[in-house]
Structure 1
């Protein structure tokens, strides 16, 4: 093991470790519904609105359906935050800021399985 006190070398090593952690997190599989997440969601938005369901957890992904503002009983398959790292890296600074805060949830509803923005979902309390 080589020990160094060179600030540049230490900074490079710390940066490499941080980047490796971000990349590993970005490529990790989604977190599936567990004790911290609800088993079912309902849509929480203004009446008459709809929420897109996409093939992948990104705004650029193909739209495969919609959830009406009144949708309930949406099965939660797991959520994660942000778009895939390589896509995020190629994006503008504004898109990066939005996507860093965006929560995507993998859901099933009426035979459709896909991804939707978690911002408009809330726990669906069983009757």
Structure 2
């Protein structure tokens, strides 16, 4: 019975334990909302980045400030909550580094795939950060790029008005990207919004090629 209770207790020992051990190599955002990455371990310091929910592949550069497991087991629930608010992790997200409260992180994994754009030089839109840290979106982004290139090739091969056709496709793609980036406004549904808008554009470009 004692072992069962200990295991149940350990199941609640999440972000706090991360802060006092080497922890995982990579994190993911476990919060339902975007989390703030600060320049220092202070919520009133300079805001470096907003990292959206469902972002994975966040590099762990070291955590500090939480309770040890031994101390945590002796704490009251109120003391545990207070300890979580004192635990910070230094993290790397697409070439930027900063500090986030560890209570918003859980164990993640390395993202080996890359999208069609350079994550380290792209503008720090929340949705672009999400794309770079989400395998499903990376795959959709690469699929879209391939289909888009196919549509451009078809436009260039037209016997009438190829220049205008290519120009029209490029303008529509720019407008689509702006629309995609608006998914940051979808509270609690940024990932769903992004997936849907990618799939619709892929379908539209595929129809263009079969005309």
Indicate the residue corresponding to 1:38 in structure 2. Answer: 24
TM-score normalised according to structure 2 size:
0.33
Q: Distance in 2 between matches of 1:42 and 1:64?
A: 17
Gaps of 5+ in 1: 1-32, 83-96
Q: Which has the higher contact order (CA 8 A, sep 6+)?
A: 1
Point out 4+ residue stretches in structure 1 off by more than 2 angstroms.
Answer: 33-36, 97-101
Q: Report the CA distance between 1:125 and its aligned residue.
A: 3.9
> 1:1-127 counterparts in 2 under 5 A?
36-46=22-32, 49-81=33-65, 98=82, 101-125=85-109
Contact 1:102 1:119 in 2 (8 A): no
Higher strand share: 1
1:99 and 1:35 map into 2 onto residues whose CA distance is: 15
Structure with greater helix percent: 2
- Provide structure 2 residue ranges, at least 5 long, that are not aligned to the other structure: 1-18, 67-80, 112-211
User: 1:36: how far off?
Assistant: 3.6
The alignment of Structure 1 onto Structure 2 pairs a total of residues equal to 79
Structure number with larger C-alpha Rg: 2
Q: CA deviation at 1:112?
A: 1.0
- Tell me: CA distance 1:64–1:126, structure 2 relative to 1, closer, same or farther (3 Å): closer
